[in-house]
Amino acid sequence: MKVCRTIEEVRGLSRGARSEGRRIGFVPTMGALHEGHLSLVRAAKAECEFVIVSIFVNPTQFGPNEDLERYPRPFERDREMLEREEADALFAPDVEEIYPPGALTFVSVEELSGKLDGKSRPGHFRGVATVVAKLFHIVEPDAAFFGQKDAAQVAVLRRMVRDLALPVEMCVCPIVREADGLAMSSRNAYLSLQERKAALVLSRSLAKVRAEFEAGQRSAARLREAGERVVAGEPGARLDYFAIVDPDSLDFVDEVARPTLVAVAAYVGTTRLIDNVVLG
Ligand code: PAJ
């Protein structure tokens, strides 16, 4: 696996592989890799002949009081994991390579970026859209692989790809969970043993909503109440949002009549966790 630090290097590799007729798959990450990330790499390997993974802790998607400084960066471990998965290239640029001093250009997906996590984290999706657009231009992939874990991110990026006519196929992969149901996340590393237990309330609340739905409940208000009640029962968690929305527009729905996204975000201690399920 080739490790690239510069735009020129990774673009050269990508163009070289394309000129040999290979399909380029791309998996953007912020590192601190876990099985969720690796599932994307495996999906990319299954569909593409040349797989590029990026590790870049993107400063523009962190708010001023968020965890940019303490975000885990176990680079050597990540590199070994990707080597084992037989990724073809790892792109791990410095901040200055992606954001040259004086960079003034951003990509903003209006409205959608202010919903769900974008409402709780102002500016977050502007940072995500900007870096992903930029990475797409650098890597020039045929297909890019994202996790359903970040459902609002998927909605924002799908819209960006459509609106800007970017020639990239968006592939979205299922949420990978720990054996007890906790959605895998690099941020789970922040949790103490006690918090780790409290964090299970997210997947539990979604399971409750799914059970109510399967028992015939279709009212979004009722389903949301059921989910919120589960979160309220866990003193170790503080709800940020519990939302039942259209997966593309992220608008609230009244009834679950078509595929509908049920998304939850909660603070466990100081760690903000998210999870979701699609009903219908
Ligand atoms: P990061 O949080 O590192 O996640 C990278 C990719 O892995 C995302 O597409 C995310 O949805 C996916 N992922 C994370 N946990 C997952 C899980 N448990 N199951 C399945 N997929 C999972 O998302 C980002 O980085 C950044 O915003 C990025 C897109 C790289 C832009 O900076």
Structure tokens at 13: 């590799």
Consecutive H or E run containing 161: helix 151-163
Please, which residues bridge with residue 61 across strands? none
The residue whose C-alpha atom lies closest to atom 5 belonging to ligand 1 is: 29
Examine residue 49 and state whether it is found in any structural domain, yes or no: yes
Measured in angstroms, how far is the CA atom of residue 37 from the centroid of ligand 1? 7
Residues with Cβ within 8 Å of 279's Cβ and at least 6 positions away in sequence, in order, are: 209, 210, 213, 256, 259, 260, 262
Structure tokens at 220: 């979004």
Q: Do 169 and 190 share a structural domain?
A: no
Q: What is the CATH number of the domain that holds 138?
A: 3.40.50.620
Residue 103, pLDDT score: 94
Prediction pTM value: 0.98
Q: Is the CB of 272 under 6 A from ligand 1?
A: no
> Can you tell me the distance from the alpha carbon of 203 to that of 221, in angstroms, rounded to the nearest whole number?
19
Q: Do 167 and 198 share a structural domain?
A: no
- Structural domain containing residue 266: 186-275
Integer distance in angstroms from the first to the last C-alpha of the chain? 41
Measured in angstroms, how far is the CA atom of residue 21 from the centroid of ligand 1? 28
Q: Do 55 and 157 share a structural domain?
A: yes
Q: For the segment 35-71, what is each residue's pLDDT rounded down to a tens digit?
A: 999 999 999 999 999 999 999 999 999 999 999 999 9
Q: Is the CB of 91 under 6 A from ligand 1?
A: no
Q: In what order do the strands lie in the sheet with 271-279?
A: 237-245, 260-268, 271-279
Q: Do 230 and 118 share a structural domain?
A: no
> Can you tell me the distance from the alpha carbon of 137 to that of 139, in angstroms, rounded to the nearest whole number?
6
Q: Do 205 and 137 share a structural domain?
A: no
Mutate which of 27, 37, 55, 190 for ligand 1? The one with the most ligand atoms within 8 Å of its CB, which is: 37
- Domain count of the chain? 2
Q: Is the CB of 203 under 6 A from ligand 1?
A: no
37 is catalytic: yes
Structure tokens at 201: 């309330």
Q: Do 192 and 169 share a structural domain?
A: no
Q: Do 120 and 233 share a structural domain?
A: no
CA dihedral of 244, 249, 253, 259, whole degrees rounded to 10 = -70
Measured in angstroms, how far is the CA atom of residue 222 from the centroid of ligand 1? 30
Residue 5, pLDDT score: 98
Q: Is the CB of 124 under 6 A from ligand 1?
A: no
> Can you tell me the distance from the alpha carbon of 253 to that of 71, in angstroms, rounded to the nearest whole number?
35
Quote the radius of gyration of the chain (alpha carbons, Å). Answer: 19
Q: Is the CB of 134 under 6 A from ligand 1?
A: no
Q: Do 268 and 210 share a structural domain?
A: yes
Q: For the segment 119-132, what is each residue's pLDDT rounded down to a tens digit?
A: 999 999 999 999 99
Q: Is the CB of 205 under 6 A from ligand 1?
A: no
Q: Do 120 and 202 share a structural domain?
A: no
Residues (pLDDT < 70) of the chain are none
The residue whose C-alpha atom lies closest to atom 11 belonging to ligand 1 is: 147
The residue whose C-alpha atom lies closest to atom 7 belonging to ligand 1 is: 37
Residue 249, pLDDT score: 98
Measured in angstroms, how far is the CA atom of residue 176 from the centroid of ligand 1? 11
Mutate which of 61, 149, 171 for ligand 1? The one with the most ligand atoms within 8 Å of its CB, which is: 149
